[in-house]
């Protein structure tokens, strides 16, 4: 099994736009080859940009290996002490928690010590 792909808001927008690489990663999750994590804050930020409804999102969220990672109180306290935009802090937290690779169109928003980043 491949390491999980953790989509940030820019990666999710790319997925909605039909970006070939983003869609391929989603298909890997659909085939249970690569888990895909969508941090809840990234979903909210992406939806702020694209304005999709629940039906549009449900099509992307149904495979068993697609997980929306919530921002619970414990995580909120942990990431609340770090700097940077909330979406970036949540994505980094989730990527570290699952030993995953961040999928993004905007790698410059991540600190140097973030870990694995896949630019699409």
Q: Give domain limits for the chain.
A: 7-100
Examine the pLDDT at 99 and tell me if it is beyond 90. Answer: yes
In eight-state DSSP terms, residue 19 is -
pLDDT of residue 103: 98
C-beta of residue 57 within 8 angstroms of C-beta of residue 47: yes
Q: What angle do CA 53, 85, 74 make, to 5 degrees?
A: 85
pLDDT, one tens digit per residue, over 33-64 is: 999 999 999 999 999 999 999 999 988 888 88
Mapping DSSP onto H, E and C, the string for 75-113 reads HHHHHHCCCCCHHHHHHHHHHHHHCCEEEECCHHHCCCC
Looking at every residue in the chain, the average pLDDT score rounds to 93
Across 8-12, 33-37, 63-67, 100-104, least confident range: 63-67
Res 19: pLDDT: 95
């Amino acid at each position: 099994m491949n390491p999980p792909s953790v989509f940030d808001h820019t990666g999710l927008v790319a997925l909605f736009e039909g970006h070939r690489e983003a869609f391929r990663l989603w298909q890997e999750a659909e085939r249970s080859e690569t888990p895909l994590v969508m941090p809840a804050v990234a979903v909210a930020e992406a939806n702020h940009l694209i304005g999709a409804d629940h039906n549009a999102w449900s099509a992307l969220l149904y495979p068993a290996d697609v997980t929306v990672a919530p921002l619970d109180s414990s995580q909120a306290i942990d990431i609340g002490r770090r700097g940077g935009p909330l979406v970036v802090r949540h994505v980094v937290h989730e990527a570290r928690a699952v030993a995953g690779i961040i999928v993004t169109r905007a790698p410059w928003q991540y600190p140097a010590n973030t870990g694995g980043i896949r630019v699409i």
